[in-house]
Every structure is written in structure tokens, then in C-alpha cells.
Structure 1
Amino acid sequence: MMKIPFTKMHGLGNSYIYIDGFKHHLQEEDLPIIAKRVSNPYTGIGSDGLILVLPSDEAEVRMRIFNKDGSEAMNCGNGLRCVAKFAYEHQYVTERKFTIQANSGVVDAEVHVNESGQVDSVTVDMGEPILERGEIPMVTVEGSPNDYVISEPFQVMDSKQFVTAVSMGNPHAIFYVDKIEEAPIDTQGPEITSDSRFPESVNVEYVEVVNQQELNFRVWERGSGITQACGTGACASVVASVLNGHMQKGDEVTVHLEGGDLWITWLTNNHVLMRGPATTIAEGEFWIR
């Protein structure tokens, strides 16, 4: 058996177990198993998954994300903010602006430090959204256009919905509802995330437009199910809301998630900025058998 130190962190309740990959090396074949074990709230630590903070040849630091089902994810907005906090507070970076490599690419991060020297919030440039159907990816079905997926009819179970699809390095399907508390997240979410029209699966977001600067939001994440927050999903929901005429490009939008608020701006240069908190919950050690 081997004992590994860990840090549990969360961004708006979206919690992961963070491993310092600068100091500790885990076998590649063990990572999905470890992710499942540490995520289990009854026999493990309890989280939405596992994140490794690693050295990088392309950026100052690298992030690898494993969902609670053991699958590896391409990107995680809440995870990026926590990795930024971890890297700065562990002095793996010295400047407040630096780059982070995820499986989806390299992003720019800026930590905001309080008077005690701790990072309490982080801004991440999430890059440009991907809107082309084939790159999200979403399969073209009979009668659908070949370019963008904006308020497109989408049959799920026994109801007709309208979907807008966006990728932020990982795929998102956004649906609008009149009341967020009535969103069919637990019934339709698992059906949509495994729908054959999304060959790489998809994160499912339900959004209520409050006004031109506010959205209410709930999410079913592929590989994890219902979570308290999803940073990339919040970004995708603002992009979708601009595409559907609910918001203006360049305006900061407050996205109300179950775990708290994120502030998202789809800039006129086409990049998406995400600003929000990152919080350390606990530190400890777990045994790998």
C-alpha cells in the first residue's frame, strides 16, 4: 500500500480531490480506479472526481481531470480555478498571471489574492467557443442544418425540446426553461448525455433567463451526473444566450448556479472570460491499495 497526500477543493460546490503531481507520481493505469475510489462518499473521500496538478511542457502547469466514473475529461472551469489557486499557493508559479494546460488546450489564468496572501478568486480566459456542429461534436440528422446548432428542435423521451450546442473544449447542450426549479435535469439529463446524436456524450444544461445580465442554471455533467456547478457549462450557457438573443456580447453576465455565482463575459474578440471563487476544503492522506 502507498499513502498519498491530497487536497480537497471546490469551486461553487463542484468538488475534486487534487493530487500534487509535481511531487507524487501515480501509475497511468491506476488513475481511473483511484478516481472512482476517492470520489465515493461512503468508502472514499467524496467528490465529483480527481484532478492532477502536473508539470507541463506547454504551460506553467498542467491539469488532468478524471470524473467519478473513471473517465477522463477534456476541461473543467471550476477545476481550472482551483488548479490556479493550488499552483500559486504552492509556489509552482510566482506571477499572478500564468497559463494552465488542460486536455482541451492552454488557457490564461489570473489569481486574485487577498490581504493574507491567499487566492480567493480566479479569472480564466477560456478561449473561443466552438460552434460548428461537427466540431462540438453533434451528428447531423435529417432536416437539420450542417453548420450551427441554435434553438434546434430536439426530441427527447416524450417531449420536444429546443437545443443550442456549444463546445468550450468539451461539449454542452443548452435548453431553456421558464422556471429553473422545474427543469427535468434528473429525468432528461441522463437520456440526453448518452444520446447518439452526441458521439462523445454531452454535458446538459438547463437555463432560465432572469434578465439581460442574469441566468439561473442547472447541470447534468457527463461522467458525474448532477453537480453543484459547471464552469465550462456556465460559459456555454452565456454564449448560447447571446446566440439566442437573450444577452449582448461584451456584457458581463451573472450565472446563478446551485453552488453560487460565476461572472461570465463573451468578449467582442470572441474569447470567454470566467471569474469565480476557488476554495480549499481540507488536506489529508489516502491509501492506495
Structure 2
Amino acid sequence: MRIPFTKMQGAGNDFVVLDETRGRLGLTKAHYRFLGDRHFGVGADQILTVRPSPGPGIDFEYVIHNADGAEVEQCGNGARCFARFVHDRGLTNKDVIRVQTQKGVIEPRLTADGRVTVNMGAPVFDLDQIPFDASGLAFQPQGHWGNWPLAPENTGQHATFLLAPVSMGNPHAVLLVDDVDSHPVRVQGPQVQASPRFPQGVNVGFLQVVDRRHVRLRVYERGVGETLACGSGACAAVVAGIRLGLLDADTPVQVQTRGGLLSIAWAGDTAPVLMTGPATTVFQAEIEIPDNL
């Protein structure tokens, strides 16, 4: 089967974008894994699929698969690329579009400077909805919120991680660190993800607070590993930093990822999180997907 695709990136978080507005391609989990494979396929952190409106008041449906082939709820950097794709391909002439995701509706908006702002909706702190099982754990208050101590699973370590769980349409655990460059992200990320307390898995963010308006961030993503940037992870990190009393809510917070800079604004409480950043087309091509996957 030969299919067309577009390769895109947002702050280094890279994607394969597929257009299914004229019909389904009928891809399987194995097909998505092949497309995401950096040695045998195209190579991507996630595969994004554009589908037609599922109902009134919605412009498109947005489907996300991780590089391991699993479908996931949300991808913030992908949402910006999604908006750039449908606009540049002439699928819409709107600067603000309403997009249905697995967990709700988001509203990407193309800005005059070429970046894209995405209304990511309000963060979710209810542990059952994240979901996160905190039974038997001793909550440690900080600021207007706090952290949960989590012992690493099957590592022989006695130390615990202090993490702030939050959902941005997908589950995140935010850990405060002194220096993201030297922190063992690729060791601790899988350790946190191995915890059965996150029954749907979790994206693990390692947050370094530079000052009250600037942070540095690395994210170990569910089903992918560490990526150069994670949009929903940047949102979760800023929300956590504000709730923990470390960041200001009256101005956008600049999030420096390894792939680029994202701007995150959140007024607190039930206000939506607004994420602004780049979205760039790398190339368009076709690929032959083997029949025997």
C-alpha cells in the first residue's frame, strides 16, 4: 500500500501527518509503528491523522498515534502542526478552527507572526480522572497544591520521587529538578512510567524553574521516550509550577525545551491553558507500507 504523507515538526517534536478527509486509509497499529520507525519508516514521535468533522460546530477530527502504534488522547505540539497542515493544504481558510480530540475539543489559532496558539482546555487535577492512584501515599503540601511521593518500582532504590500529577487531556507527572541537563531523565522517566499507580501510563516532565517567568523542561513521553519537546507536557509543567507557587499566573511563562521555545499562559483555577509555538512543514512525500506487517 502506497500512501502520501507530510513530515512536520513543532519545536523539534516531529510528526507524520496523514490526510483522511476523503476516506480512511485503514491503517493498523503495525502500520503506525512502521511509519514512526526512524530506521525503516519515515520516523516520528507521533503520527497525526486529519479526519472530517464528526458533528456540528466542529471543523475536523484529530487522531494521534504514538511511535509505538498506540492511540493517545492529546498532543499539543501536534495540534499546532495539525492547524498549520489543514490551513496550508487548503482544507480550511479559517484562522481559528475547532478540532475534536479523543478527550474533547481544542481550538488552534494561527497568529500573524506565523506561530500557532492552541487553547488546550482547562487542566484536570482530580486524581481519578488523570488517572492516578494515590492510595496509601502521604500528600506533601506546597504552595496552593503539593506533591505525592512515589517509590520507583523494582529498582532496589529506597528514594522516592516527588511528583505533581495533572491531566491536559492526557496524563502527566511533573517532577521538580535542579538542572535538566544533568538530571537522569532517561533513567527516571521509565521508572515513573513503570508505576501501576498510573493505569493508563504517564508522560513524565522534569521541570527546572529558572525564575518566575522562565523554565526549562525535558519530557519522557508515554510510548515514545524522551522527545525534543512536548506541548501538553509544557502546559502541565507550567500549571504545576503555578499551583506549587513557583511561577506567576499573570503573564505567559516561557518554556525552553531541547527543541525550541514554547509560551504557556494560564490564569489559574478553571481557566484554559493557552500554548503558543512554531509549526513547520519539513517535506511531503509518499511511502510504500509493506503488506506483511
TM-score (norm 1): 0.92
1:44 maps onto 2:41 in alignment = yes
Contact 2:212 2:247 in 1 (8 A): yes
1:262 maps onto 2:265 in alignment = no
1:164 maps onto 2:161 in alignment = no
Distance of 2:243 and 2:167 partners within structure 1: 13
Give the corresponding residue for 2:63: 64
Q: CA deviation at 1:25?
A: 2.0
Distance of 1:200 and 1:150 partners within structure 2: 22
Give the corresponding residue for 1:155: 151
Distance of 2:194 and 2:160 partners within structure 1: 17
- Residues 88-167 of structure 1: pairs in structure 2 closer than 5 A: 88-113=87-112, 120-144=114-138, 150-156=146-152, 157=155, 158=157, 159-167=159-167
Contact 1:66 1:73 in 2 (8 A): yes
Distance of 2:176 and 2:23 partners within structure 1: 44
Give the corresponding residue for 2:229: 229
Contact 1:239 1:266 in 2 (8 A): yes
Unpaired segments of 5 or more residues in structure 1?
115-119
Distance of 1:108 and 1:50 partners within structure 2: 20
Q: CA deviation at 1:26?
A: 1.4
Q: CA deviation at 1:113?
A: 4.6
Q: CA deviation at 1:257?
A: 0.4
Give CA deviations for 1:184-239 in whole Å, capped at 9, x if unaligned: 21111112112101011100000100000001000100000011110000000000
Distance of 1:179 and 1:154 partners within structure 2: 20
Distance of 2:227 and 2:102 partners within structure 1: 21
Give the corresponding residue for 2:244: 244
Give the corresponding residue for 2:12: 13
Q: CA deviation at 1:57?
A: 2.0
Distance of 1:7 and 1:24 partners within structure 2: 17
Contact 1:109 1:122 in 2 (8 A): yes
Q: CA deviation at 1:129?
A: 0.1
Distance of 1:143 and 1:241 partners within structure 2: 21
> Structure 1: which amino acid aligns with 2:148?
E
How many residues align? The count is: 280
> Structure 1: which amino acid aligns with 2:134?
T
Q: CA deviation at 1:56?
A: 1.7
RMSD: 1.7
Contact 1:178 1:208 in 2 (8 A): yes
Distance of 2:132 and 2:150 partners within structure 1: 12
Distance of 1:32 and 1:194 partners within structure 2: 22
SS of alignment partner, residue 232 of structure 1: helix
Q: Percent identity?
A: 36
> Structure 1: which amino acid aligns with 2:54?
D
SS of alignment partner, residue 180 of structure 1: coil
Distance of 1:155 and 1:182 partners within structure 2: 21
Distance of 1:121 and 1:24 partners within structure 2: 29
1:191 maps onto 2:185 in alignment = no
Q: CA deviation at 1:42?
A: 1.2
SS of alignment partner, residue 79 of structure 1: helix
TM-score (norm 2): 0.91
SS of alignment partner, residue 87 of structure 1: helix
Contact 2:137 2:148 in 1 (8 A): no
Contact 1:150 1:165 in 2 (8 A): no
